[in-house]
Amino acid sequence: MDTKAFTRALKKSENYNRKGFGHAEEVATVMQSVYQSNLIQQIKDNDYTLQKGDVTIKLAKAFGFCWGVERSVAIAYETRQHFPNQQIWITYELIHNPSVNQDMRDMKVKFIPVIDGKKIFL
């Protein structure tokens, strides 16, 4: 299969969506509860530092997902919400983060398998 031709055709398809389905606010709330915490917010509010006794924790100011990963994860959540019973496929893991990828699997989102370096479109 010519994967470049497949990708070009897919992007022109009515089944291709990069903009979400209008559930952005609901999904943002879910993502906040799943991928953030009160402790992280407390550290950010305190100049990215937490002091407990003799222990100081410094949180990187770039902590969290980059915009592209955050958007990709949000679109996956929106897609599952919009299509609760449909099979959803993603071409690659969205991020090299086992927890996020497991969350996708828990939502019954499947990754297109790669065998010998080639995607296997079932």
Q: What is the pLDDT of residues 14-32, one digit of tens each?
A: 878 777 888 888 998 888 8
Q: Is residue 9 part of a domain?
A: no
Q: Count the domains in the chain.
A: 1
Torsion angles phi and psi, residue 17, rounded to 5: -135, 125
Q: Which residues contact 59 (CB under 8 A, 6 or more apart)?
A: 40, 43, 44, 48, 49, 50
Q: Is residue 106 part of a domain?
A: yes
Residue type, 89: W
Task: Give the pLDDT confidence score for residue 82 in this predicted structure.
Answer: 92
Q: Is residue 8 part of a domain?
A: no
Q: Is residue 100 part of a domain?
A: yes
pLDDT tens digits along 48-79: 999 999 999 999 998 888 888 998 999 999 99
Q: Is residue 2 part of a domain?
A: no
pLDDT tens digits along 92-101: 888 888 999 9
Q: Is residue 32 part of a domain?
A: yes
> Are 53 and 6 spatial neighbours (Cβ–Cβ below 8 Å)?
no
Q: Is residue 42 part of a domain?
A: yes
What is the CATH classification number for the domain harbouring 72? 3.40.50
Q: Which residues contact 23 (CB under 8 A, 6 or more apart)?
A: 77, 78, 81, 82
Task: Give the pLDDT confidence score for residue 37 in this predicted structure.
Answer: 86
pTM of the model: 0.73
Domain range for 78 is 14-119
